[in-house]
Structure 1
């Protein structure tokens, strides 16, 4: 596990766990979905899944990219930028962890 992914090689897999203020998950999900849609056209994106548990106003995003540079470009993208502008105020806790595949 890595806290930034900079020390990993090959495909990098990221798990983002985010807990939001009560009853705000429905407000956040359209922005997360927009990030997923943007990622679907990125040739460096291997995987992008959104997992939710509505009773806790939490979600987990499972992402895989071909490199750390690809993750950095993804984070700098317009959908991700819009998410932070609109949704950061709802975040209670956030945790990102990066992994490489065991082979």
Structure 2
């Protein structure tokens, strides 16, 4: 089963959120629909701008924790190296 580390944003240059999940489509949908109370709902963070896939949960959690400790500049550089326009990647993963 794959696991994902993902970064959401409220918009270009906006608030960032980093999470880990075993079902990226479902989890991002939950953020987008504001189904869960918390940080992303409060700050309107629902644009999927980056993700990585892992084969085991331990490595995914380790990566998530490492990214959360990075300063904002490093996180933005990581996103912009892979998604320079901060495009929402959700439509590409949610389509059958």
Work out which of the two has the higher radius of gyration on C-alpha atoms and give 1 or 2: 1
Per the normalisation by structure 2, the TM-score is 0.29
Which structure features the higher share of helix residues? Answer: 2
Where relative contact order (Cα < 8 A, 6+ residues apart) is larger, the structure is 1
Which structure features the higher share of strand residues? Answer: 1
